[in-house]
Structures are given as C-alpha cells and as structure tokens.
Amino acid sequence: MKILRLFKTGIRDAFKGVFRNFSLSLAAIFSIVITLLLVTASIILSANLNNITKQIEKDITIVTFMQKDATDKDVDSLKGKLEEVDNIASFTYKSKAEIKKEISNDSDVFNALLSQFDDESVPLKNVFHIKVIDVRYINDTAKTIKGFEEVSAIQYGEGMVEQLVSVFSVIEKITIGVVIAMIVVSAFLISNTIKITIYSRRTEIDIMRLVGTSNFAIRFPHLVEGFIIGALGSIIPILATIYGYTIMYSNLDGYIFSKMFLLIKPYNFVYLISFVLFIIGSLVGMIGSYRAVRKYLKI
C-alpha cells in the first residue's frame, strides 16, 4: 500500500512538475520535437532507400540461353539442374516459339522477318529467366549456370550488377549510420534539456534528501516527468510522420522519378515509425531525468 501511495504521489508530482516549470518544460518539449523530426526524416529516407535497392535487386535476372539445338529432354534436364543450385529463388522458361510470338507481336518488321521460319527452325534460343536469392553471389551462381552443358550463354549485366550492389550496400550503410547518429544526437540533446529542467529543482531534491526521502521516492516523479516531456515532445513528429508521409505518398503516386523507385506504402510503415518515435522520446526523457537526478542524489 505504501508503495502504491508513493506511485500515486509520484505521478501527481510529475504532472505538477511539468506545469509548474512550464517554460522550461516547453523548451525541453520543443528540443525533443526538433530532434525527433530529424530522426523521423532520416528513418523515412533510409527505409525508402533500402526499399528501392531491394526492389532493384529483386529485378535483377540472369537470362540463360540454351544451346541452339536443345531438345525438350535438354530443357527438362536443365530445369532439374537449376532446382539444385542454392542461390536460385525462382526461374521461368520461355521456348523459342513463345519468344518468336512475342517479338512478332511487338514489331511488324520482326513479324515479317520471323514469319519465314517455322517454330523449330527459327534462329532463336530457348531461354530461362532466373532470379537469385542474394544478389551479392550472382557471379558465382552465373558461373555455375554457365557451366551446364545445355547452356550456350548467359546475360545478367556483368560488372554493372556488382557496381550497383556495392553502391546500394554503401548507401544502406550510410543511411543506417545516419539514423543511428540521429538517435544518439537526439538522445544527447533531449537528455541535456531535461537535465536543465531538473537542475532548476536541485534545491528541492536537496531538501528531499535531508528530510529522509528515499532515493526511489526522489527519482520516481522525475522519471515520470521525463517520460511525460518525452511523450509530449513525440506527438508533433508522430503527426508529421503519419500525415506528412501519407500526403507525400499520394501526391507522388507512390514513386520517385520513375516506377523503378517505389516508395514504401504508408500503412503500417508510418505507425511503426510513430511507435519508434514515441519510444525514443519517452525513453530518452526518462534517461535524461535519471542522469540529472542522480547527479543531485549524492548523499
């Protein structure tokens, strides 16, 4: 019961504390708003960059051309071999007859040219479109595929893919680094602002100590106060994330520059970021308070 009363008094005092030093609390809240806006911007940027790179990586395909005179038996044999390769996510097969039909439909010139051949004698090759699981190992996978006797040639943008992958990997690392740096900077800023708020109350903490208040009873209201300030400071960045991102997404029709660069859909994504912002704000608020109070709790 005693502990419950302490909790109740602590929460009441925390709310009183926020409003009693309202100008300082407001300063702390604004500092949290600004830093969390930076955090949310960097999270959105980083997550979308990663999403775009993942999309592009997904689109990378190894086009495998079979031997010119490949039979149905060879096709089945190659399918079997491809199923055995580790890094292959999926593959689709197109016979030369299907390819002839597609090309003919696309262009009248080709149609006129290819109509001279029947499906068997057409100078085209049967093709497998292969998607890989991990694009980083595409070279090895391509080498394995090229080694099969049924395969005459492969194409996957050799050289360019590796460059693209390494650029994406650098971008991913940089954006993750930026997000972590932003979180650390915000933690530092928020915790220092709250420290200033608590600093103004050092006399009160001093009196509490001298009249025999336990460290828990001194710390608890301040921790709650840090939580309240942090939570209040996260409201505007959360609203900005939810409404700002949704509006931006619908105005841009869900992509930037071209449909190759698709943005993450707002639903779930914005709520996940909002949750992260709330956690950062309130947790860092509490840590800031804890650090500040600890300084004045020296017996």
Residues lying near another protein in the complex (CB under 8 A) are found at: 2-3, 5-6, 9, 20, 203-204, 206-215, 217-218, 299
Question: H or E segment at 77?
Answer: helix 72-84
Report the nearest approach of another protein to the CB of residue 204 (Å): 6
- Any idea which residue has 């100078």 for tokens? 123
Burial of residue 221 (number of CB atoms within 10 Å: 0-12, 13-18, 19+): buried
Between 128 and 296, CB nearer to another protein: 296
Report the nearest approach of another protein to the CB of residue 187 (Å): 27
Between 101 and 209, CB nearer to another protein: 209
Report the nearest approach of another protein to the CB of residue 11 (Å): 13
Do 151 and 167 meet the contact criterion of CB atoms below 8 Å apart? no
Do 100 and 122 meet the contact criterion of CB atoms below 8 Å apart? yes
Report the nearest approach of another protein to the CB of residue 2 (Å): 4
Question: Which residues, in sequence order, are CB contacts of 170 under 8 Å at separation 6+?
Answer: none
Do 191 and 286 meet the contact criterion of CB atoms below 8 Å apart? no
Report the nearest approach of another protein to the CB of residue 274 (Å): 35
Between 100 and 219, CB nearer to another protein: 219
Between 71 and 214, CB nearer to another protein: 214
Phi, psi of 54 (to 5 degrees): -65, -40
Between 203 and 258, CB nearer to another protein: 203
Phi, psi of 15 (to 5 degrees): -65, -40
Between 35 and 197, CB nearer to another protein: 197
Question: Which residues, in sequence order, are CB contacts of 162 under 8 Å at separation 6+?
Answer: 138, 139
Report the nearest approach of another protein to the CB of residue 242 (Å): 38
